[in-house]
């Protein structure tokens, strides 16, 4: 059985990806930082395993990956955001966004790659954002971190391709998760009007994209950004 690690696996998108990969035959390790109860519940339901570690902590990541052992697939999904003016956001929040979103993604990839390179087999899927493609006002640090993930994906894909490892990226649009339910009905309607398909994305849409990139159907695809945004960014 193939093994996958999904970081932030207890969140809306992470849960959908974890469930879909399990359905497709993967044994899934569900990483979480604080959502222990939810992660363990999901793991029980999909016959996977919940694993706690902070992806921004390099040593913690190394230890966790060593304990897990061989992985066929890494999905770097964990991320945080904050809506605030660039000149007003606290330094602590700005540092956290970069440390979790970009450094955390790189930490996890670095930790799994030695074994993947030795085996000449492996697959890494990074979750970016449409704001990493075009930028978002009042989410400058977040946009920068997600743009960094896109650059990281392209560079790493070139470096590890000779070892038979694929690295791709998904850039979700406005996905209706708990985080986005904080918007008022009026704000949601304004956002909907900006989406050419006229509907909000759902976690399952990202899970479907991840399942494709995790499968042999995408065996000749690497270093790419798959935009799942209803046409909001083209």
Catalytic annotation present for 142:
yes
Of 2, 1, 4, residue with least CA distance to 124: 4
84 is written with which tokens? 């605030």
Of 20, 4, 127, 3, residue with least CA distance to 74: 4
d(CA 193, CA 214): 32
d(CA 7, CA 14): 7
Per the CB < 8 A criterion, the answer to whether 228 and 199 are in contact is no
Per the CB < 8 A criterion, the answer to whether 73 and 66 are in contact is no
CB atoms inside a 10 Å sphere around CB 199: 12
201 is written with which tokens? 């994305």
Catalytic residue among 26, 29, 142, 220: 142
Per the CB < 8 A criterion, the answer to whether 33 and 196 are in contact is no
Residues marked as catalytic: 142
């Amino acid at each position: 059985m193939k093994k996958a690690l999904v970081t932030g696996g207890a969140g809306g998108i992470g849960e959908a990806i974890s469930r879909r990969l399990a359905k497709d035959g993967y044994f899934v390790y569900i990483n979480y930082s604080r959502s222990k109860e939810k992660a363990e519940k999901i793991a029980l339901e999909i016959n996977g395993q919940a694993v706690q570690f902070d992806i921004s902590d390099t040593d913690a990541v190394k230890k966790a990956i060593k304990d897990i052992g061989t992985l066929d697939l890494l999905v770097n999904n964990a991320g945080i955001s904050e809506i605030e003016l660039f000149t007003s956001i606290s330094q602590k929040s700005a540092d956290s966004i970069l440390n979790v979103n970009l450094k955390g993604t790189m930490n996890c990839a670095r930790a799994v790659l030695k074994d993947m390179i030795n085996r000449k087999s492996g697959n890494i899927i990074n979750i970016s954002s449409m704001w990493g493609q075009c930028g978002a006002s009042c989410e400058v640090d977040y946009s920068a971190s997600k743009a960094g993930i896109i650059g990281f994906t392209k560079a790493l894909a070139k470096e590890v391709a000779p070892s038979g490892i694929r690295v791709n990226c998904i850039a979700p649009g406005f996905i209706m998760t708990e985080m986005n339910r904080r918007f008022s009905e009026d704000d949601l309607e304004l956002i909907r009007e900006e989406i050419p398909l006229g509907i909000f994305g759902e976690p399952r849409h990202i899970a479907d994209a991840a399942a494709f990139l995790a499968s042999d159907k995408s065996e000749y695809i690497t270093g790419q950004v798959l935009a799942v945004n209803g046409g909001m960014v083209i």
